[in-house]
C-alpha cells in the first residue's frame, strides 16, 4: 500500500504539462488498440467512461479536472460534468471490470496512468479516487 501512496504522490507532484504529456501518451497507446476491438466510437466511449468514473469517484468535479478534460478531449466543463454525473450513477467497480476484463494488464496499466493523471490534476487524490484507482490497478 505504501508503494501505491508514493505513486499517487508522485503524480500529484507532476506539473500540469507533465500530466498532460503522460495522458496524451496514454491516449496514443489506448485509442488504436480500443479501435481494433470496437471501432472508433467504442474506443472514445471506453476512454471517456473510465475517465468519468475516475473524476466522479469523489463526487466532485474540480475546475482543474474540467480544464484537463477540455485540453485532452475538447470537452466543455458542462460536458465533463454531465459525463461525471452519469458515471457517478453507475457502479464504478463493475464498470471497470466490464471495460477491462481480467488479463488485460497492459490496457489496465495505461488506463490507470490516464486516470491517475486526471485524479492528480487538481493537486490531490482523495481517498475515494484512491479506492477507484486501486480497483483499476487490481
Q: What is the pLDDT of residues 82-116, one digit of tens each?
A: 888 777 666 656 666 776 666 677 888 898 999 99
Average pLDDT, the chain: 83
pTM: 0.84
Q: Sorting pLDDT into bands at 50, 70 and 90, what band is 131? A: confident
Q: Vertex 4, ends 47 and 24: CA angle to 5°?
A: 30
Q: How many domains does the chain have?
A: 1
Determine the pLDDT at residue 31: 85
For residue 66, give its domain range.
2-137
Distance from C-alpha of 130 to C-alpha of 39, rounded to nearest angstrom: 30
Grid coordinates representing 74 are 475538447
pLDDT of 9 reads 93
pLDDT tens figures, 24-45: 999 999 888 877 877 767 777 7
Instruction: Identify the residue whose cell numbers are 498532460.
Output: 20
- Does the pLDDT at position 21 exceed 90? yes
Amino acid at each position: 500500500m505504501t508503494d501505491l501512496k508514493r505513486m499517487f504522490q508522485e503524480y500529484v507532484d507532476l506539473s500540469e504539462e507533465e500530466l498532460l504529456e503522460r495522458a496524451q501518451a496514454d491516449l496514443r497507446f489506448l485509442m488504436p488498440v480500443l479501435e481494433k476491438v470496437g471501432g472508433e466510437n467504442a474506443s472514445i466511449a471506453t476512454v471517456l467512461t473510465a475517465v468519468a468514473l475516475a473524476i466522479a469517484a469523489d463526487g466532485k468535479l474540480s475546475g482543474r479536472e474540467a480544464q484537463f478534460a477540455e485540453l485532452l478531449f475538447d470537452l466543455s466543463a458542462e460536458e465533463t460534468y454531465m459525463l461525471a454525473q452519469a458515471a457517478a450513477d453507475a457502479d464504478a467497480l463493475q464498470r471497470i471490470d466490464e471495460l477491462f476484463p481480467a488479463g488485460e494488464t497492459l490496457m489496465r496499466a495505461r488506463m490507470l496512468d490516464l486516470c491517475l493523471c486526471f485524479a492528480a490534476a487538481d493537486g490531490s487524490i482523495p481517498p475515494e479516487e484512491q479506492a477507484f484507482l486501486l480497483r483499476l490497478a487490481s
